[in-house]
Amino acid sequence: MSLSLREQLLKVGLVSEKRALQVEREQNQQQFKAPRDKKRPQGPSPQQLAAQRAQAEKAAHDAELNRRKQEKAERKARFAQIKQLVEQNQVARVESDDFYNFVDGGKIKRVPVNPELRQRLISGELAIVRNEGRYAFVPAATAADIRARVERAVIHHNVASAAPDSDDPYKDFVVPDDLVW
> What is the tens place of the pLDDT at every residue in 106-115?
899 989 999 8
Q: How many domains does the chain have?
A: 1
**DSSP 8-state symbol, 173:** S
77 inside domain: no
90 inside domain: yes
Q: Where does residue 60 rank: exposed (0-12), middle (13-18), buried (19+ CB within 10 A)? A: exposed
Please report the pLDDT score of residue 15 as a whole number. 79
> What is the tens place of the pLDDT at every residue in 58-74?
999 999 999 999 999 99
pTM (predicted TM-score): 0.56
CB 160 within 8 A of CB 123: yes
112 inside domain: yes
CB 91 within 8 A of CB 121: no
Q: Is the pLDDT of residue 16 over 90?
A: no
Question: Could you tell me the residue range of the domain that residue 145 belongs to?
Answer: 86-156
Q: Is the pLDDT of residue 40 over 70?
A: no
